[in-house]
Amino acid sequence: MIGDDERCVALAGLLPMRLLAQRAGLTAGISAAMRRPDYHPDYDRGQVLVDLGLVQLAGGQAISDFQALAHLEKLIGPVPSTPTVWRSLDEADAVQVTRIHQATCRFRRLWWAILKSRPEGFPWLTVAGRELTGITVIDLDASVVQVASDQKENAKPTYKGGVGFVPNLATCDNVDDLLMIDPRPGNATSNDAADNIAVLTAAIAAIPGSYRRRVLVRLDGAGFSHKLLEHIATGGGVHGRSWEFSVGWSCTDREIDAIDATPKAVWGERDRPGRRPARRHLGRRHHRPAGPVRVDREDPRTSDHRPGRAAAPQVHRAGQ
């Protein structure tokens, strides 16, 4: 076929995902969540919202990009206008958003069960040659989103300059699944403990129950707070959970000196497949070292202190 052949279809890769959403009940679930008494729109709202998500996956950045689906019109039927997409979003109030979230969680239970039933099983992560079997890995991160106008709702000056938003994201790295977005204003901080605990709690509630018991929560130094780590160490306050956390940040010479001063007795070799273990590749055992060695995260060096090497994130077990 050639470029002007009528049999050529753009964005054909969206069709299998659209069909999956229909057959797995996601589209029907969102349609039911958006349904209102005595209101029968020409375009099914569940299908409109699913198609809007597919447009985002294809690289869409504005609601008007929805019209790119016109390339598939012969296969999927008439494509709603941009004002219709706007109305679909405007019709979603707090109650309907909650129902949409519930429909998504039902779909996730089915999807994860399908992954588990494969011969290779559920996709557990492998770190340094060791498979983290049975551990659900959730990443917390705040992301700055710049906008052109401060007239948009919740648009505030950000710490990076300009105006925009700082949404909090919670992602399951096992399946690359975005579990939760907290659409915070631009003046929100990355290390707000209450915000981070709230988005983690919502993310945990969004995954199937059997995957909530053993969890590894990863975050960077910008999101660090003692309250958040204490919340993780206690398994979110639920008995029987075994949660861990991993916090990474760029080390200065002060941290490197503290690590070097740690007694050898508290170090254990980390598995390094295919390589001979070296001192700098050793991992701390999960108990407090002897002596007064301590890194105070709340007392940074002065600005003229030269940066040092990046340290590998440390994993701490709950209760230790």
Q: What is the 3-state secondary structure (H, E, C) of 180-241?
A: EEECCECCCCCCCHHHHHHHHHHHHHHCCHHHCCEEEEEEEHHHCCHHHHHHHHCHHHCCCC
Per-residue pLDDT of 229-242, as tens digits, reads 999 999 999 999 99
Residue 269 tokens read as: 């070799």
Q: Where are the domains of the chain?
A: 14-114, 122-317
The pTM of this model reads 0.74
Dihedrals phi, psi of 5, to nearest 5 degrees: -70, 130
pLDDT attached to residue 3: 54
pLDDT attached to residue 266: 78
Residue 275: pLDDT over 70: no
Residue environment code for 223-256, b if the CB has 16+ CB neighbours within 10 A, otherwise e: bbbeebbebbbebbeeeebebbbbbebebbeebe
pLDDT attached to residue 122: 96
The residue to which tokens 């403990």 are assigned: 193
The CA–CA distances, whole Å, from 116 to 2, 17, 175, 216, 251 equal: 41, 19, 11, 19, 38
Per-residue pLDDT of 4-63, as tens digits, reads 666 677 778 899 999 999 999 999 999 999 998 888 999 999 999 999 999 998 999 889
Choose among 181, 235, 179: nearest CA to 207. 179
Confidence at 148, pLDDT banded by 50, 70, 90: confident
The residue to which tokens 């390094």 are assigned: 272
Residue 89 tokens read as: 């979003």
310 or 118, higher pLDDT: 118
Q: How far is CA 84 from its chain centroid?
A: 29
| % of the chain at pLDDT higher than 70 | 81
| Gap between the Cα atoms of 87 and 80, Å rounded | 11
pLDDT attached to residue 1: 47
CB 46 within 8 A of CB 34: yes
129 or 318, higher pLDDT: 129
H or E stretch at 130: strand 130-131
Handedness of CA 191, 195, 198, 204 (dihedral sign): negative
pLDDT attached to residue 85: 95
pLDDT attached to residue 299: 34
269 or 307, higher pLDDT: 269
* Cβ atoms within 10 Å, residue 311: 15
H or E stretch at 170: strand 168-172
Residue 287: pLDDT over 80: no
Per-residue pLDDT of 55-71, as tens digits, reads 998 999 889 999 999 98
Confidence at 300, pLDDT banded by 50, 70, 90: very low
Residue 128: pLDDT over 90: no
pLDDT attached to residue 61: 87
Choose among 252, 215, 235, 35: nearest CA to 139. 215
Q: Is 50 exposed, middle or buried (0-12, 13-18, 19+ CB in 10 A)?
A: buried
CB 223 within 8 A of CB 142: yes
Length of the chain: 320
The residue to which tokens 């504005």 are assigned: 62
Choose among 214, 227, 211, 222: nearest CA to 247. 222
Residue 287 tokens read as: 């108990």
According to DSSP, the residues that pair with 217 across neighbouring strands are 138, 245
